[in-house]
Structure 1
Amino acid sequence: MMLQTNAYDNGMPATGLHGARWQKSRRSNSQGNCVEIAELPGGRIAMRNSRHPEGPALIYTRPEIEALILGAKDGDFDHLIAPSSN
């Protein structure tokens, strides 16, 4: 099944992205504590909460996702997973 080629809006129901192939990180756990991503036509990337697959999907451009992934690789967000020193 092909994805619809209509405009994608942030916060649209993920169920509206017909044919999207959602992918989780290998680090996802059995409780579903992970986000899922899917490539859309035109190079956009959708992201949803794996615990609420019917819920909203956030739509990003490829450069936005690239900045996020490279920032994570560089450690820019490590403070979000490291124990607080407070």
Structure 2
Amino acid sequence: MPASQLPGISWRKSRHSNPDGSCLEVAELIDGNIAVRNSRHPEGPALIYTPAEIAAFVLGAKDGEFDDLIG
């Protein structure tokens, strides 16, 4: 869904984000789902995930399951 079709939400990004804008932004939606978009393309697509999907990803990231993706 285009991120522009999600008005009135507050996008936020990690304090670890790249200063040149290469980062993801997340926003909680009214229905409890979470939207994710590319900060370089704020009007581009937003992917929508359930809280359970985000929790599984965050827990995997905390456990180091994706460390191989960043070098």
Normalising by the smaller structure, the TM-score range is over 0.9
Give the Å deviation of 1:30.
Answer: 1.7
Larger radius of gyration: 1
Please provide the CA RMSD for this pair. Answer: 0.6
In the TM superposition, 1:43-82 aligns within 5 A as 43-82=32-71
In the TM superposition, 1:7-86 aligns within 5 A as 12-82=1-71
Calculate percent identity across the aligned residue pairs: 66
Aligned length: 71
| TM-score, with structure 2 as normaliser | 0.97
One-letter amino acid of the structure 2 residue matched with residue 80 of structure 1: L
Structure 2: stretches of 5+ with no match in the other structure: none
